[in-house]
Amino acid sequence: MLKNLTILILGVAGAFAPAHAQTAHAIDPERSVATVKVYKAGLLGGLGHNHDIQAPIQGGTVDEEKGAVQLLIDARQLKVMDQELSDKDRTEVQQNMDGPKVLDVEHFPQIRFQSASAKPGGPNKWTVQGSLEIRGQTRPVTLQVERYAGLASQAARYRGSIQLRQTDFGIRPYSSIGGAIKIKDEIRIEYDIAVRTESGAGGKLSSHRD
């Protein structure tokens, strides 16, 4: 009887105990986006084109206390935005990007980032280290992040950029005419991320190391 009474008391006390504060907040996909910058090269680079590729952010979280970041992008939603290309050429670039020689979205539909640490780099700025998975290949990367909004009436917002080499992820940069027209191995990813918070107030990244 005493044992059952003790269990009952503990259960009631647990039901009314204050919950632990949730510090991880969801990324708002409707207000977040990444843009991939691809640059032309080669002796006849003037005949080629730079490419802007929109990469909608599908989801993820930002832990504003620990500085932990998770990002998920649906590779199948990447879209070539080049306005100077004809519809036919834009479709060809899109198919090449989606195909087995580049992203191979049929077999690798997701692009993921998982942070490992975040160090302050100045007022409202952080250097975030973690792992990035593209085309099934995972590599360590370093992101520069800046908080530029987060008023009481808005969610927190972060922006930044990262330089990558396609070959590090098993992607062979496009080339034609024996390399006279090609794109550079190095690409740049720029991102603008909005974070939802329950209170509506923006948070901030803090230093964290696993």
pLDDT at 60: 92
Residue 121 contacts residue 201 (beta carbons within 8 Å): no
pLDDT value for 113: 95
pTM: 0.73
Per-residue pLDDT, 69: 87
For residue 56, count other CB atoms closer than 10 A to its CB: 14
pLDDT at 79: 92
pLDDT at 112: 94
Per-residue pLDDT of the chain (210 residues; tens, 9 = 90+): 444 433 433 333 333 333 344 577 899 998 898 999 888 754 333 445 677 888 889 999 888 677 788 999 999 999 988 777 788 888 888 888 899 988 999 999 999 999 999 888 888 888 999 999 999 999 999 988 888 865 444 567 889 889 999 999 988 876 543 333 567 889 899 999 988 765 444 445 544 443
The pLDDT assigned to 88 comes to 86
Q: Which two tokens stand for residue 209?
A: 């190391």
Q: Which domains does the chain have, with CATH numbers?
A: 23-209 (2.40.128.110)
How many Å apart are CA 172 and CA 204, to the nearest integer? Answer: 38
Q: For residue 189, which of 161, 210, 159 has the smallest C-alpha distance?
A: 161
pLDDT value of position 134 = 94
Q: Which of 132, 134, 139, 146 is CA-nearest to residue 205?
A: 146
Residues 117, 129: Cα–Cα separation, whole Å: 5
